[in-house]
Amino acid sequence: MDTSLLFTRRDAVAIISINDAPYNRMTLDFINRLEELVTEIAEDDTLRAVVLTGEGLDNFSVGMNLKQLPEGIERAGGPDALFDQRLRVIAAIENMGKPWVVTMFGYCLGGGLEVPLGCHFRLAAAEGAQIGLPEMDLGTVPAWGGSARLSKCVGRDQALDMILRGKKISGPEALRIGLVQEVWPLEELKDRAIKLAEELAAQPALAVRGVMEVVVGSEDRPLEELLQAERAAVHKTFGTPDQMEGMTAFLEKRKPVFNQPK
């Protein structure tokens, strides 16, 4: 039985935990299982948000298990195929239409930052986090989309400063430059991530998907195309049970209850 990651669910929230404490390395088995789970979650309409974390409280992930690199290249049939799988998984997370919340604590290095960069909400520990892309120290560059996504997230100057200098930044510094949205004490971090995912899962699923289709990747698309995508999302949600519930709840001055069983 594959134990490279743990998968549980709490109502409409899926919880995925890298199971290789204390370092939580992203092994070959882990990435294969994650790809399977991403597909399963995308197809399961009862799951509406995801939390990605790591076992223990030492490290989210130190990234790929480099000892497995030669084996991974051999299995995949070449380095490009190996890296393409990682890019494919991260892109599937990013474009799923369901929000992913990731906890960043301890070492979040290499793939341990690149996978979170494909997630939509990044929460960091207030103490102890070391977040970075240290590939320069290995004589190479990020291979899972890290340099591209980091620059889009925090801007060219901050990305160059982190990557070219091999910097590892703290949770508060990550918040300052816009790499994460929230910072919490380490002992509260995972609970806060689950609470945020539950909040997101309670939103009207079709509307959430519509907004994500407009916003995710919006920096690469012209305004007119985004406006058309937004209008398409309006049409998809108008007249749905969730839209009518939202309007009724507003008029009745109560909190709406979305995603009711059909």
- Would you please indicate which residues are annotated as catalytic (active-site) residues? 114, 135
Instruction: Report whether 93 contacts 122 (CB < 8 A).
Output: no
The sheet that has 49-54: what strands, in order across it? 5-10, 13-18, 49-54, 100-104, 121-125, 182-184
**56 Ramachandran zone, left/alpha/beta (phi>0; psi -120 to 50):** left
Q: What is the dihedral of CA 211, 217, 221, 225, to 10 degrees?
A: -20
- Regarding beta strands 121-125 and 49-54, do their DSSP bridges make them parallel or antiparallel, or are they unpaired? unpaired
Tokens 């007119």 correspond to 224
- Residue 204 DSSP SS3: coil
- Please state, in angstroms and rounded to a whole number, the distance separating the CA atoms of residues 202 and 12: 8
What span, in angstroms and rounded, lies between the C-alpha atoms of 210 and 220? 17
